[in-house]
Every structure is written in structure tokens, then in C-alpha cells.
Structure 1
Amino acid sequence: MNRWDSAPLIRFFGGRKLLYILGILLIIGLNILVYTQVDFIFHPLVIFVETVALPIILSVVVYYLLRPIINLMESWKVKRIWAILITLLMVVGLITLLIVLIIPFLEKQFVSLAEELPSYLRDLVNSLDRWLRDSFLGSYYSNLFQDVDGLLNQLPDLGNYATQTVEGITTFITTVTNVIVALVTLPFILFYLLKDGHKLPEKIISFFPPRVRSEVTSIFKGIDHQLSAYIQGQIIVSFCIGVMMYIGFLIIGLDYALLLAAIASVTSVVPYLGPMIAITPALIIAIVTSPFMVLKLAFVWTVVQLLEGKFISPQIMGKSLHIHPVTIIFVLLTAGHLFGVIGIILAIPGYAIIKVFVTHLFYWFQRRYNRFAEEENQYQLPEK
């Protein structure tokens, strides 16, 4: 045997091919070092990726949402092209209905909440101040904060902050409007993705050597399953949370019920962190309204979270992702620090895709090692 094939660890990583692999990794590292010094050359490529990333991501999300409907219509003997057109027309009608009926109402509630937020904060500070002064900590509190009235007199400045916030939101909406021009390509990408998307993996697999095509096919199937389960399940779970929150807020008589329910529905896309973000504005409004409203809000929130955690999510999403909660928290924190809000939204599906690659790669190495271990045992002399 060659000296590079004698060590099990080296044979596990490819035997004589190990040197070639290390050389390739070294060349890749040198290329990365060179490219970082001339990154201005690739600036147009970065702009191109930033431009097409959003419509492609949205197209993939909508693709996984509409694919079951199109497959169902195909099972009813409807041609795929007609099934796609009918489904897209239904989606356009639904979006138009939302824009005409719901969006204006949400906009009014949002503007009203932004205008009344300073008064809510002032009432909240006053309530906390009275409670602390009347509590057993009153003497300590008075010594620490002798000029609370002066602090409260500064709160009208919150109106300026609120105005600046509204102006910032207006600027953000303007930016989003400009981005929408780029998203005009979304329907076209989505149409061809629905039409020929199922053929794309086969085209990609055909570029690989025949002996590894089964492994690549397995990877594609795993990625498809993970994305499909996460996207479809998360959208349904978010919708259910929004409906339950809206019904609960209406029952207890909480102000801005539809807006707060919509916030809870959108933020529920982010596991664990989303509910904490969503409850903050609702909790402020409940505290200012009355202590009894806080208890009613806590009851509604607890019931919804129990229903979502014990019944809805297990039935809809199941255990398809197989990701530990602690892992999810660290992934969200890291992705948020690196990529901001977009990173938080895409963290879990991105981690699921990487997990599929790593799992199959480890399985491939493990199978390769077992094969070499069996060959190594053949060279051992039998015991006397």
C-alpha cells in the first residue's frame, strides 16, 4: 500500500487525494485574500445580487405556498399552465381585497397609535411613579428621585421623537415604494418557477458525475422538504396566531385590536423572540388602560401561546426541522447581529438548509470511513 494509504485517518479523507484537497483549499484561501484587496471590481456583482435577492426570495416563498394548490389542480386533470394562471389570478384578487378593505384601516390605527404613544408613555410613567411612592419603597424612591416632576416635564419632547419616528417611517415607506419597482419582476419569476421549478433540480443534478447523483438528489429532496415544511407551516401558524389574538383582543376590549393582532402575526415568524416583541405595545396600552386590562391581556396571551405551542404548531409543522430551542436562539442572535432584520427572518430556513448539507456530508464521510475500516480489517492477520 502507498504510504498515504496506510493511515486510516488519511484514507478516511481520501488517501492520496488529501494533498490535492489541501492544495485546493490553499488556492481558495489565496483567492479570497486577493479578492478582498480588489473588492471594488466585484461591486457591480454585489449590487446585482442585492437587486435580485429580494424578488428571488419572495418568489421562492410564494412558490412553496402555491405549489400544493397547483399540484392539487393538476390531480383534477387541469393543465399546469392553466392551473398556474388561475392560481395567480386568485392571489391577485386576494391581495386587491386586502389592500382595499384592510390596509386603510390598519394605516389609520397605526397613525393614531403613533400620535397617542407619547400620552400613553406619560400615563405609564405617572402610574409607576404613584405606585412606587405609595409602596414600601416610597422613602428610598423619594430620596433617589427627588425631581421626578422635572423628569416628567421633559416628556413632551417625546412628541418630537414620535414625529421623527413617523417621518422615519414615511422615509422607509418611500424606500419600499421604490423597491416595489424592482419587484415588478416577481410575477414573471414566480410564473416560470411554478411552471418549470420542478425540473430545475434535475438540470442541476445532470452536471454532477453519475456516481454522486443519488447523493445530490437526496440533498435536494431534503432541502425541498425543509423549506416546504417551514414556509407553509409558518405562514399557517402566523395566520392562526393573528386570528386568535384579534378575537381575544376584541373580547377583552383592548384598543387597536386589529393592529396589535397583525403585529403579533408578523412577528411570530421569528421563534421565541417574536412574541416578546409583539406583546410590548399591547402591554403598554393595557397598563395605561387599567390593571384589570393587564390581567385580561395576560390571560389572552397565555391561552394563545398554549394553543399555538401545544396544538397548532405540532399539528401543522410537527418536528420537521429537528432544531433544538437553544440552537434556534443562538442562530437568531448571530444572524441578527450579522445581517439585521433580514438575517433574523431568514436565519431558521438558512440554518435548516446548511444542516441538510452538513448531515449528508457527514453521512457520506461516515460511510466512506466504514468502507475503509472494513478494508483495513481485511489486511489484519487472524489471531491464532
Structure 2
Amino acid sequence: METQRVWSEKLRSFLFNSKFVGFLFVLLLVGLNILVLSKISYVFHPIEVLFKTVALPLLLTTVVYYLLNPIIDYLEKRNVKRIYSILALYLLIAGIITLAVTAVIPLVRQQIASLASNFPHYFEQFRLQIEEWLGSDFFEGIQETLNFDPAQLTANISERASSILNNTWSSVGGIVGTITEVVLSIVTVPFILFYLLKDRKKLTPFALGFVPTKLRDRFLTVMLEMNHQISSYIRGQIIVSFCIGCLLYIGYLIIGLDYSLTLAIVAACTSIVPYLGPAITITPALIVALVTSPIMLVKMIVVWTVVQLVEGKFISPQIMGKTLNIHPITIIFVILTAGNLFGVLGVILAVPGYAVLKIVATHLFRWFKARSGLYESETANR
């Protein structure tokens, strides 16, 4: 009887006094809340619409903010008022945009139209060149083994392009709505950015006002780390991508590759995605160079190799450093997963999103270790 009473007290103490059981109970409540909210998701439809409406303007504004804010801060240290610095930068950006619209965009549009119209021909020439290099018998064996017909693939590409064009004309309303949404988002960016740059110092106290007093120090630490990670990544990746585009454009001009400006711009845009972006970008350049001549292909590979070496050995270490401290394999898996879940936007936001989640998870785990009592302190083990 005494033994039963002792075990009963131990069980009661474990269930009601154990921090681990309390943690499991909290997880259970969180799961139940998620289940209930998933059943009444229609209640949050207005919030979803609001998020979709403001997501793109806020995303664009955040990127531009992290690019311009260091310049504004530097000028402010030089006793230049923020309002004057912002206005001067706006005038400079307006001049650059005007120059791009009048000089660069017509050339790029012409090259893109020419490349799009000639790409099926380039692809067919690429296939014939590969077949000539490998030998017709070997190539036919691969086609039979893989049940792969290049001619049919070319026809499918043409049919798909025609289908996309027809669907485009049949859904002009949807396209106009999308274009209108993007244009409105771009138009609102300067206004949001102006007040964000102007009132930057008021943002942190405003956010801390919603946090309980005892948690403000920890919350401020998390905010500072997140801000450092995001700002370093955005500025560094955009600068690196711009350098890659400029170097490739210079290299393509030297070797005389067709569509050099368009291919360099595509390379700069896709290089925003780490590791996978350059691998994707090289494909159209390879096809154009191979169709031009085998010598051009060798020149293009040399230019690409030199640019990648310069970027990997000099540009990225100086600009990016080790700001994220994330293993390359982890980055690749994160990008692939985010791409499958959220599409192109997920690919772009995968790395900074993972960095933010990593910071939050790290601080939550440290808080859990300190409060749970399940982990011995490192000083006690020494």
C-alpha cells in the first residue's frame, strides 16, 4: 500500500510539475489551435487578400531600402540631413531610369525578340551539332533507349509557344490585371520607401512598444541579428550579381557573342539565386555559342570560367564574406524546397527566409534550454 502511494505521488509530480510534460501540453494546444483554424480558414480570407496586396510593394521596398539606407546613413554622418539625401538619391535614380528606358531597354527588347524567334532554330542546330559530335549511330541508340525524339521535342516547343500565345490573347483581362498590379506596386514603392528612410530611427522603438518589457532585450537582439543577416545578404547578392553581369557583358563583347547584352542581363538576374542561378544561366549562352561556331563555344566557356573564378575568389569573399554561415548543400536544398512550395518567389526568398528562421529557431532553442532544466549548463561539465 505504501509503495502504491509513493508511485502515485511520483506520477502526480511528474504529470503536474514536470516542465517536459508542460512543454508537450503546450505543443498539443498549438496543434489543436492549428486544426481549428484550418477548419475556419474562410475567416482569414480578408487577411490573405491584404497580405497578397501589400506583399509585393513591401518586398520591393525592403530590397531598395537595404540598398539605399547605408548611403543615407553615411551622408547623415557627414552632416547632410536625411531629407536632402533622400531627395538627391531620388533624382539620381530617376536619371538612371530615364537613361535605361531611352538607351538600354530598346536594345534589350530587340535582342530578346530576335532570340525568342530564333531559339527553335538554335535548338535544332544545337541538336544537329551534338549528333555530329557524338556520331549518328551513338545518338540514335540514345534516342531509342530513352524513347526521345528531338524533332518531336522541337515541334512540341513550337506548339507550346503557339498555345501560350493563343492563351495569352484569350486571357488579356487576367494579364492586364497582373500588369496593373505590378505597375501599382512599383509606383507605390517610392512613397513607402521615402517614409521608411526618413523615419528609420523610429521603427525600432515602435516595434518594441508591442513587446512585453521583460522580453524587449531578447527581442531587440533577435531584430538586430535578423536585420544584419537580411541587409548583408540583399546588398551583397545584388552587388555580386551586378558585377557578374558587367564582367560577362565585357567578356561577351570581346569574343563577339550574339545577344551579349541580353545574355549578360539574364545572367545578372539569375545570379541572385546562389549556386543554382549560374548553372541555369549558362544554358542559353552555350546554345548560342555552339550554334555560332565551335571556336565561339570555347571562347564562351573561357569567359564564363574566368568570370566565375573572379567572382568566387575575389568578389564574393570581399562583398559577402561569411555573413550567412550556411553550408552550400543546405542552401541548395532550401532553394529546391522553397521553389517546389512557392515557385519563383520562393526561390528568390529561400536563403534570406531560411536565415531569418534560423535566427528565430536558435533563440527559441536557447530560451527553451534555459527554462526547461533538461540541459546541464556547460560550466557544470567543466
Q: Report the TM range for the smaller structure's normalisation.
A: 0.7 to 0.9
Equivalent residue of 1:102, what SS? helix
Q: Is the deviation greater in 336-345 or in 76-85?
A: 76-85
Choose which of 306, 329, 340 in structure 1 pairs with 2:309: 306
Partner SS for 2:199 = helix
Q: How far 1:275 moved relative to its partner?
A: 0.7
User: Which residue matches 1:100?
Assistant: 102
> Which whole-Å CA distance do the structure 2 matches of 1:228 and 1:4 have between them?
51
Contact 1:260 1:282 in 2 (8 A): yes
Q: Distance in 2 between the 1:169 and 1:295 partners?
A: 39
Q: What is the CA distance between 1:165 and its match in structure 2?
A: 5.1
- Give the TM-score taking structure 1 as reference length: 0.84
| Letter paired with 1:72 | Y
Report the aligned-residue RMSD: 3.2
Q: Which residue of 2 aligns with 1:69?
A: 71
Using the size of structure 2 for normalisation, the TM-score is: 0.85
Match for residue 296 of structure 1?
299
Output the amino acid matched with 1:215: R
Do residues 35 (structure 1) and 32 (structure 2) align? no
Q: Does the alignment pair 1:247 with 2:238?
A: no
1:106–1:258 Cα contact (<8 Å) kept: yes
Q: 1:317 maps to what in 2? A: 320
Amino acid at match of 1:49: F
| CA shift digits 1:272-315 (9 cap, x unpaired) | 11011100100111111111111111111111111111110000
Aligned residues: 364
Quote the sequence identity (%). Answer: 48
- 1:118-157 to 2 correspondences below 5 Å: 118-133=120-135, 137=138, 141=141, 144=144, 152=151, 155=154
Unmatched runs of 5 consecutive residues or more in structure 2? 1-8
Of 332-341 and 34-43, the range deviating more from structure 2: 34-43
Residues in 2 aligned to 1:336 and 1:256: alpha-carbon distance in whole angstroms: 28
Aligned in 2, Cα 1:169/1:192: closer, same or farther, shift over 3 Å?
farther
1:90 equivalent to 2:92? Answer yes
Q: What is the Cα deviation at residue 341 of structure 1? A: 0.5
Cα gap change, 1:372 to 1:354, in 2 (>3 Å): closer
- Residue 339 and residue 274 in structure 1: after superposition, are their counterparts in 2 closer, same or farther (change >3 A)? same
Find the aligned partners of 2:328 and 2:155 in 1 and give their Cα distance: 42
Alpha carbons of structure 1 residues 169 and 92: separation in structure 2 relative to 1, 3 Å: farther
Distance change >3 Å, CA 87–CA 155, structure 1 → 2: closer
Unpaired runs of 5+ residues, structure 1, are: 378-384
Contact 1:118-1:162 at 8 Å conserved across structures:
no
How do 1:162-311 and structure 2 match up within 5 A? 162-164=161-163, 174=176, 176-183=178-185, 184-311=187-314
Determine if the alignment matches structure 1 residue 112 to structure 2 residue 117.
no
Greater Cα shift, 206-215 or 168-177 = 168-177
1:345-356 → structure 2 map (5 Å cutoff): 345-356=348-359
Look up the equivalent residue of 2:340 and give its one-letter code: H
